[in-house]
Each structure stands twice: as C-alpha cells, then as structure tokens.
Amino acid sequence: MSKIAVLGYGTVGSGVVEVIEKNQDIVSRNAGEAVEVKYVLDLRDFPGDPIQDRVVHDVNVILEDPEISVVCETMGGNEPAYTFSKKALEAGKSVCTSNKELVANHGPELIRIAKEHNCNYFFEASVGGGIPIIRPMIEALTAEHVVEISGIVNGTTNYILTKMTEEGADFDETLKDAQNKGYAERNPEADIEGYDARRKIAILSGLMSGQYVKDGDIHTEGITAISKADIQYAAQLGMNIKLLARSKQTKHGYEVMVAPFLVGKESPLYAVSGVFNGIVVEGDMLGQAMFYGQGAGKLATASAVVGDVVEAVQKAGKHVEIFWSQEPAKLAGLDEAEHAFLVRVANDTPQESVAKLFGEPEVVIENLVEGEYAFMTASMAEAQFNEKYEALAGTIGRIRLM
C-alpha cells in the first residue's frame, strides 16, 4: 500500500482523487500495490465531501509523515508550490505535478533535487493535459535527436481560431462566446497572449535540448491581432491559422517562438481543431510523429498525474534520469529565424513597390477584402523581412507561414 498526498483540491486535485478511486483496480495493478490518498492539503474545508476527514491545512503534516511516499502538486503557480515541492523532494517524497508554470521555471532544479534524494519529479500533465508527450519523449524517443517540435498546445486559442474560421466571426465576439461557454477564462490573458503556450514550449524545449530555456526569453505573439480578414486569406490559401509553439534546432541555436502561423493541409496540425491539442515531434531518424488529444480537462489531466504516481510508486527509492539541466540553452535570435510571410497591403500601394522590395511574389490575393490585397513573400530571415516590411507603404499586417 502506497500512501500519497494531494496539494490543492481544485479542478485537477479533485480529479486526481477521483481517478485514483474510480480506477483503483488498474492503478494498483500497474503500480504493483494499492494507492491511497491519505491527505488533501487545501486552505478550505470540504464538509460533506468524501475527503473531508483527510483535509489538512498545514503542509508539514504531509512532509513529516514518513508514510507518504508521493505528493501530487496540483496547486498551480510558483509559490507556495515551489517551496512545498522542494521540501517534499528533500524529504525523499516523489512529486507529480500538473503545474506548468513551476515546471517551466524550476523544472531542472527540482529534477536535480529529486536526484539528490533518490526520488522523482514527474510532470506529464504539465503539457498537453492527458496526452502522453513528456514520457514518450523521455522514455520512448531515446534513440532520436529531436530536431524540431511544433505544437498546438493551448485549447482555448485553438477553439477561438477554429470558431473564427467556421463562423467567419471576429476575435472579440468569439472570445466572448468562448468565455460564456467556459472555454476561456474571465481573465483570458494567459491564453490569448500566448503565455500558457510559452510555458509549455519552454518545457518541451528543455527536454529537447537537455538545457534550460527561460520562458520569458521566448518570442511570443498571441492571437489578439488576428482578424476576420486574416482568416479569409487563410481560407483562400486552403490553410488554417493556428497558434503554434515551436522549437527548432538551427545552426544559430534553438529557435523558440510562439506565434500565429498559416498552416497548410500537408501538416497534421492543419486538422487539429476546437479545444484539441496536437504536438508534432520531429526526430532525425523517425521523421514526424504527432501526439493528439484534449489538452485539458479535469479527468484527463488528473489521469496524467496519476500515471506519474504509478511510475513513482513502481520506482520508489530509484531516481529516473531526466536529462534537463539548469545550464541555459543557446537560443537563436528572432532576427535569424526564416519564414515566408503573407503580407496585407492597402490597394493604394502599387504592386511594383512590392516587387521592388520583395521580388515578384508567386501568390497575390486581390479583391478578397475591401481596400486591400495580400501577397506571399519568399522565405527569408526575420531581420531582412522586417527591413523590407518597414520600407513598404500601406502595410496592414503580416502572418508567418509554417
């Protein structure tokens, strides 16, 4: 019998309790012994809830109980999650988390501490909810140099972009609709500005490079500037606009960014719609593999945390090596990133001006949106593109091609 504690009885934390109870048979079969939730840490009480007698308000009860071998940290945020996780690991208790913010900020350090104390820091649920992505990267793609990761890792923005595409709606009204349906939060900034996606690509880039990528260093553009007109151009091209989180090994270093991209049908990400997530991992031997599913949801995310608990119990007293050091990864500058761009320009701007700066474009879309046209550039470094773009009169916007 393994006894565990759950820190934070919110959506994911209560899901963890539910998954362990509902799937006790399969969890104990796979763990090799029964798994029981002994404590739930929360500031609140939950009278009437089946766990009411297991609620504690003081983390030290958990940290000082030698019976507790695994702690699920489902609180979110940096503090007190960081301090609690660190102390649990220092006490030799494995920590399984869904907290992407903490993993992005302190993952390598917490893995190191886990190693020093012969326990584990696992974080499958921090990216892609219930979709297995961290464990396949660590435990399956072990003969691969991963050279690129491109993912749709935020369900809220993908839902909004999908709705805008299906209904020809504007961003603002679609966001409101998503908020009313509970797919977007009242304060949607972390999603729509790309900060949530940035944390996830920071984690995946860390596993890809084996080094630390600070999420604040990642160039990030959200979807707030995407308009109905952008969607119309994408449709005209037979493409979809997706908020991609990307990380690519280049000769200049790791090129990591979050931004909206035009995605063509040849990419498996084209068809990832609604609240679904899809993460394409490209290896030097494997080529592309995609991991797809609902990237959030109470039970799916909780299932990933409990999957981590199963492994933590199986490997009690033994650290599982995860190659992710605190050493900073070398990042390529945005200036060096190469992309083709779709550029929207006012009709006043003669196409000769475009041709003079960018060369004769192969794709020009006219008369789709009133008062403007658009053209596709060749692939070029961002610095070079920006110079030309600034020199062109009448520009309305630009969007990268994947």
Lookup result for tokens 């773009």: 389
Work out which of 288, 326, 379, 384 binds a copy of itself, going by CB under 8 A.
288
Locate 113 and state its tokens: 């501490």
Q: What angle do CA 227, 195, 40 make, to 5 degrees?
A: 130
- Spatial distance between the Cα atoms of 237 and 231, rounded to a whole number of angstroms: 10
| Beta carbon of residue 133, minimum distance to a copy of itself (angstroms, whole number) | 9
Work out which of 10, 253, 297, 394 binds a copy of itself, going by CB under 8 A.
297
- Spatial distance between the Cα atoms of 175 and 161, rounded to a whole number of angstroms: 9
- Spatial distance between the Cα atoms of 190 and 121, rounded to a whole number of angstroms: 25
Q: Is 264 in the site for a copy of itself (CB under 8 A)?
A: no
Which positions from 87 to 126 touch a copy of itself by CB under 8 A, shown as an x/- string? -------------------------------------x--
- Spatial distance between the Cα atoms of 340 and 270, rounded to a whole number of angstroms: 17
- Spatial distance between the Cα atoms of 61 and 306, rounded to a whole number of angstroms: 22
| Beta carbon of residue 272, minimum distance to a copy of itself (angstroms, whole number) | 8
Neighbours of 139 (CB within 10 A): 12
Q: Which part of the chain contacts a copy of itself (CB under 8 A), choosing from 97-105, 109-117, 292-300, 355-363?
A: 292-300
Beta strands in 93-170, from DSSP E residues, in sequence order? 94-97, 121-122, 146-152
- Spatial distance between the Cα atoms of 221 and 337, rounded to a whole number of angstroms: 15
Phi, then psi, of 324 in degrees rounded to 5: -150, 100
Provide the β-strand partners of residue 267: none
Locate 371 and state its tokens: 């008062």
Provide the β-strand partners of residue 80: none
Which positions from 322 to 341 touch a copy of itself by CB under 8 A, shown as an x/- string? -x------------------
Q: Is 309 in the site for a copy of itself (CB under 8 A)?
A: yes
Work out which of 59, 256, 299, 365 binds a copy of itself, going by CB under 8 A.
299
- Spatial distance between the Cα atoms of 300 and 344, rounded to a whole number of angstroms: 41
Q: Is 75 in the site for a copy of itself (CB under 8 A)?
A: no
| Beta carbon of residue 261, minimum distance to a copy of itself (angstroms, whole number) | 18
Phi, then psi, of 20 in degrees rounded to 5: -65, -40
Q: Which part of the chain contacts a copy of itself (CB under 8 A), choosing from 197-205, 301-309, 330-338, 357-365?
A: 301-309
Rank residues 30 and 224 by Cβ distance to a copy of itself and give the closer one. Answer: 30
Work out which of 44, 58, 66, 142 binds a copy of itself, going by CB under 8 A.
142
Q: Which part of the chain contacts a copy of itself (CB under 8 A), choosing from 6-14, 76-84, 295-303, 342-350?
A: 295-303
Phi-psi region of 118 (alpha: psi -120 to 50; beta: other; left: phi over 0): left
Which is the catalytic residue, given 87, 93, 200, 298? 200
The three-class DSSP label of residue 154 is: coil
Catalytic status, residue 214: no
For 375-396, b where at least 16 C-beta lie within 10 A, e where not — what string? bbbeebbbeebeebbeeeeebb
DSSP letter assigned to residue 183: S
Q: Is 73 in the site for a copy of itself (CB under 8 A)?
A: no
| Beta carbon of residue 276, minimum distance to a copy of itself (angstroms, whole number) | 8
Rank residues 284 and 387 by Cβ distance to a copy of itself and give the closer one. Answer: 284
DSSP letter assigned to residue 225: T
Q: Which part of the chain contacts a copy of itself (CB under 8 A), choosing from 110-118, 139-147, 364-372, 392-400?
A: 139-147
Work out which of 47, 48, 66, 287 binds a copy of itself, going by CB under 8 A.
287
Which positions from 12 to 51 touch a copy of itself by CB under 8 A, shown as an x/- string? -------xx-xx--xx-xxxx-------------------
The three-class DSSP label of residue 290 is: strand
Q: Is 213 in the site for a copy of itself (CB under 8 A)?
A: no
Work out which of 1, 225, 271, 364 binds a copy of itself, going by CB under 8 A.
271
| Beta carbon of residue 156, minimum distance to a copy of itself (angstroms, whole number) | 17
Active site residues: 200
Applying CB under 8 A, the residues found at the interface with a copy of itself are 19-20, 22-23, 26-27, 29-32, 124, 130-132, 135-136, 139-145, 268, 270-272, 276, 283-294, 297, 299-300, 302-304, 306-307, 309-311, 321, 323
